[in-house]
Amino acid sequence: MNPWNHDVAKDEKDLVDVQVDGVWMQMPRGLNVVEVAHRAKKFIPHYCYHPKLSVVGNCRMCLFEMGTPKMGPDRKPVLGADGKPEIAWMPRPQIGCATGVTPGMGIRTDSALVKDCRNGVMEFLLINHPLDCPICDQAGECKLQEYSVEYGTGASRFTENKVKKPKNVDLGARIVLDDERCILCSRCVRFSSEITQDNVLGFVNRGSHNTLTAYPGKSFDNDYSLNTVDICPVGALTSKDFRFQMRVWFLKETKSLCTSCGTGCNTMIGSREGKVYRLTPRENESVNSHWMCDHGRLNFHYLESKERLTRPLLRAAGEQFPGTWVDAIARAAEGLRKVKPSEIAVVASGRLANEDLFVLKRLVDELGVAQVDMIQHLEQGDNFLRSPDGNPNSRGVEFLGLSSGGRISSGWGAAILSGKIKALLVLGGEDLVSAGVPASTLAKLETLIYSGILSNETSRLAQVVLPGAGFAEKTGSMVNVHGRLQRMTRAISAPGEAREDWMILRDLRMALTGGNSLYSVEDIWKSMAAEVPQFQGLNWAKIGDLGIQLVSSAKTAETKTA
């Protein structure tokens, strides 16, 4: 599976002269007319065409008027006053997705003939389409709605009864199909066969009774199935998770990253009034193209888990009780001061952002802590986008010198039992119990400080619990497994009294060492760029929406040559 295969990868050096709406310009030979119009800042409406899928040309919406150079008696092009060939226009329109440009071609994207033909196509597409807009999840981002207003006639001559097709069909574990809305663009069919190579979807019957369905005895359950909801131009395919949850025009969209594995797919967080409703992929050809896996897409509901930590907790008389941030930081600092720096160990989680890790690096350096590492999380990766590294920022931990290979296991347990480790600072919501350190061993510690967003076996043993912020509640950056530095932006506020991790570490550092020069992400980047070789010369603005490649990557090279 290769997300970077697409139709528009033509030789950019082999240019030909083409005329687009009366203006001559140069375009790569063979580039299809839909993409030519896009580069010329024109728009040709389309349904079935997608730049990452094969061309089928079955919606007929991308019609344009085509011309070829007018030839003289000597079989040479007749030149106009501007020295360019005069155009002889064909009497019928062509489809832009399946037509590649040739030297001297003429293209009209908005002529009277084109407009009349598009009106006809829209009329046919709407003949059997149900009036579901008030309840359809796609309302607000539906191409059929948009094009019917811009390119339709506003009226229908159809007086017969509409064809009835199956509604609310369980197509798979995460997909619901409403076949009456389907316009037979076949994007979903091509995605499943070409991108995921899971040949489950297809069309049955003919004519007005043509229906999308799964192969008998199978269901559409691959881990990339929800991408078909994104590319469906109407509301035929809907996500069970998002279905009837929120109107899309109410959602605030924030550019961010998926933190479910080391790939770091670029995402758009859809939120409203402090709640995340959906994650969708954001196009980045260097990382995830147009896609993301279903696991990462749906891995946000824990932000509202019943186990969510929203207030600092302090232990007394064997029980944890809520406290203030002032008391929690003071208690944590007191516990770390009681022991020698050589008796302190720190878990620098690969789930933390670079900014969090940098403040932590300053803290451990100033205290002289030597035992610092992260927990490795191995996942079931695939040959597409899911990485076997379950940490979204393992490379960032390495760049900042806070990992020696993820060796937190029975070795740390033995050090705790022998008294070599007396105080432990666990960050990023890591659970040492599930990582192999028994709860009975952690109970031997003089001081256990835990920072994370969810309660777990480790947090319930801690003397101090510091509630952190989730990925949608923080601003920061991470480095994916291929060495690409990328930004994420806060979409919602953290619940209760929870704080971003770099703020927690800054306050703890101030209480322990007096260091207090970092008050914003920009301040941290100024210092990071000066102290961390991999970040030299960078600042927050330079990272940009698509990130920066810090180290060479085999996948990056593959992407550029795709």
Q: Are residues 297 and 391 in the same domain?
A: no
Q: Are residues 295 and 318 in the same domain?
A: no
Of 304, 324, 359, the residue that ends a domain is: 304
* Burial state string for 86-110 with b = 16 or more CB within 10 A and e = fewer than 16: bbeeeeebbbbbebbbeebbbbbbe
Of 274, 304, 334, the residue that ends a domain is: 304
Question: In CATH, what number is assigned to the domain containing residue 420?
Answer: 3.40.50.740
Q: Are residues 472 and 542 in the same domain?
A: yes
Q: Which residues contact 331 (CB under 8 A, 6 or more apart)?
A: 314, 323, 463, 464
User: Hey, what amino acid is at 172?
Assistant: G
pLDDT at residue 258, rounded to an integer:
96
Environment class of 284 (CB within 10 Å of its CB; exposed 0-12, middle 13-18, buried 19+): buried
User: Which residues are 169's β-sheet partners?
Assistant: 177
Q: Are residues 371 and 450 in the same domain?
A: yes
CA atoms within 13 A on the CB side of 37: 23
Q: How confident is the model at residue 162 (pLDDT cuts 50, 70, 90)?
A: confident
d(C-alpha 529, C-alpha 522), whole Å: 11
Q: Which two tokens stand for residue 125?
A: 């597409």
Residue 500 · residue 521 · CB < 8 Å: no
- The answer as to whether 300 is a domain residue is yes
Q: How confident is the model at residue 546 (pLDDT cuts 50, 70, 90)?
A: very high
Domain residue limits at 26? 15-121
User: Does the structure show a pLDDT above 90 at 63?
Assistant: yes
d(C-alpha 16, C-alpha 45), whole Å: 24
| Region of poorest pLDDT, from 24-28, 204-208, 446-450 | 204-208
Q: Which two tokens stand for residue 177?
A: 């199909």
- The answer as to whether 143 is a domain residue is no
DSSP state string for 430-479: --TTTTT--HHHHTT-SEEEEEESB--TTGGG-SEEEEB--GGG--EEEE
Between 553 and 383, whose confidence is greater? 383
Q: Are residues 220 and 171 in the same domain?
A: yes
Q: Which of 240, 264, 238, 268 is nearest to 253 (CA)?
A: 268
pLDDT digits (tens, 9 = 90+) for 87-124: 899 999 999 999 999 999 999 999 999 999 999 999 99
- The answer as to whether 433 is a domain residue is yes
Q: Are residues 250 and 359 in the same domain?
A: no
User: Does the structure show a pLDDT above 80 at 395?
Assistant: yes
Question: In CATH, what number is assigned to the domain containing residue 213?
Answer: 3.30.70.20
Q: Are residues 237 and 354 in the same domain?
A: no
pLDDT above 90 covers what percent of the chain?
75
Of 93, 121, 149, the residue that ends a domain is: 121
Q: How confident is the model at residue 558 (pLDDT cuts 50, 70, 90)?
A: very low
First vs last Cα of the chain: how many Å apart?
13
d(C-alpha 242, C-alpha 552), whole Å: 38
Residue 7 · residue 27 · CB < 8 Å: no
Q: Which residues contact 498 (CB under 8 A, 6 or more apart)?
A: 309, 310, 453, 467, 468, 469, 473
- The answer as to whether 512 is a domain residue is yes
Q: H-helix or E-strand containing 254?
A: strand 252-257
Residue 272 · residue 459 · CB < 8 Å: no
d(C-alpha 427, C-alpha 369), whole Å: 15
pLDDT digits (tens, 9 = 90+) for 515-530: 777 888 998 999 999 9
Environment class of 301 (CB within 10 Å of its CB; exposed 0-12, middle 13-18, buried 19+): exposed
User: Does the structure show a pLDDT above 70 at 559?
Assistant: no
Mean pLDDT, to the nearest integer, of 4-32?
Answer: 80
User: Hey, what amino acid is at 59?
Assistant: C
Q: How confident is the model at residue 380 (pLDDT cuts 50, 70, 90)?
A: confident
Q: Are residues 291 and 330 in the same domain?
A: no
pLDDT at residue 406, rounded to an integer:
56
d(C-alpha 191, C-alpha 50), whole Å: 10
Q: Are residues 104 and 172 in the same domain?
A: no
Mean pLDDT, to the nearest integer, of 342-356?
Answer: 94
d(C-alpha 379, C-alpha 39), whole Å: 41
pLDDT digits (tens, 9 = 90+) for 175-198: 999 999 999 999 999 999 999 998
Q: Number of structural domains, the chain?
A: 3
User: Does the structure show a pLDDT above 60 at 84?
Assistant: yes
- The answer as to whether 175 is a domain residue is yes
d(C-alpha 207, C-alpha 403), whole Å: 62
Q: Name the one residue in this structure whose structure tokens are 């709640």.
A: 275
User: Hey, what amino acid is at 251?
Assistant: L
User: Hey, what amino acid is at 350?
Assistant: G
Q: Are residues 203 and 108 in the same domain?
A: no
Q: Which CA distances in Å does 243 have to 176, 189, 229, 308?
A: 9, 21, 11, 25
Question: In CATH, what number is assigned to the domain containing residue 26?
Answer: 3.10.20.740
d(C-alpha 541, C-alpha 58), whole Å: 43
- The answer as to whether 385 is a domain residue is yes
Q: Are residues 372 and 462 in the same domain?
A: yes
- The answer as to whether 149 is a domain residue is no
pLDDT at residue 299, rounded to an integer:
95
* Burial state string for 192-207 with b = 16 or more CB within 10 A and e = fewer than 16: bbebbebebbeeeeee
Q: How confident is the model at residue 383 (pLDDT cuts 50, 70, 90)?
A: confident
Q: Which of 234, 270, 279 is nearest to 136 (CA)?
A: 234
Mean pLDDT, to the nearest integer, of 135-140?
Answer: 92
Q: Are residues 330 and 368 in the same domain?
A: yes
